[in-house]
Amino acid sequence: MTDDACPSSCICARESGTVTCRDGDETEVPGNIPEWTSTMILKGRNISTLQRGAFMTNDTELEMMTLSLSYNGIQAIEPYAFLGLPRLHLLDLSHNRLESISARAFHGLTELRSLYLNYSIMPQATAQLISALSTQSLRNLHRLELTGNRLTSIPLIRLDIYNLHALVLINNSIETIGRENVTNLYQQRRLRVYLSLNPFRCNCDLEAFYYWLKNSSQCPDAGRLLCSEPEAKRGSPVDKLRGEDVDCMNENLEAVSYVFLGIVLALIGVVFLMVLYLNRGGIKRWLNNIREACRDQMEVYHYRYEQDSDPRLANVAV
Tell whether 229 is covered by a domain.
Answer: yes
Give the 3-state secondary structure of residue 125. Answer: helix
Regarding whether 138 and 199 lie in a shared domain, the answer is: yes
Is there a single domain that holds both residue 127 and residue 207? yes
For the beta carbon of residue 70, count every other beta carbon within 10 angstroms. 18
Q: Is residue 312 part of a domain?
A: no
Same domain, residue pair 243 and 97: yes
Task: Decide which of 249, 281, 298 is a domain's last residue.
Answer: 249
Question: Does 156 share its domain with 91?
Answer: yes
Whether residue 112 is contained in a domain is answered as: yes
- Say whether both 242 and 259 belong to one domain: no
Tally of structural domains, the chain: 2
In a domain, 178, yes or no: yes
Give the CA diameter of the chain.
146
Q: Is 227 left (phi over 0), alpha (psi -120 to 50) or beta?
A: beta
How many Å apart are CA 258 and CA 254, to the nearest integer? 6
With respect to residue 198, please indicate whether it lies within any of the assigned structural domains: yes
pLDDT tens readout for residues 48-60: 999 999 998 777 8
Q: Do 65 and 29 share a structural domain?
A: yes
In a domain, 318, yes or no: no
174 falls within a domain: yes
State residue 260's pLDDT score. 55
Cα 197 to Cα 315: distance, rounded to the nearest angstrom: 97
> Would 70 be classed as within a structural domain?
yes
288 with 198, same domain?
no
Pair (50, 191) in one structural domain: yes
pLDDT at position 1: 44
Among the three residues 249, 264, 286, which one is the final residue of a domain in this structure?
Answer: 249
Same-domain status, 239 and 255: no
Average pLDDT across the chain, whole number:
87
Rounded alpha-carbon distances, angstroms, from residue 77 to 36, 136, 211: 25, 18, 39
67 in the same domain as 103: yes
| Helix, strand, coil share of the chain (percent; to 5) | 35, 15, 50
Residues 186 and 280 in one domain: no
Q: What domain range is 260 assigned to?
A: 250-306
Domain end position, chosen among 215, 231, 249? 249
Residues 160 and 290 in one domain: no
Low-confidence ranges of the chain (pLDDT < 70): 1-4, 249-262, 264, 266, 275-278, 280, 296-318
Write down the pLDDT at residue 292.
72
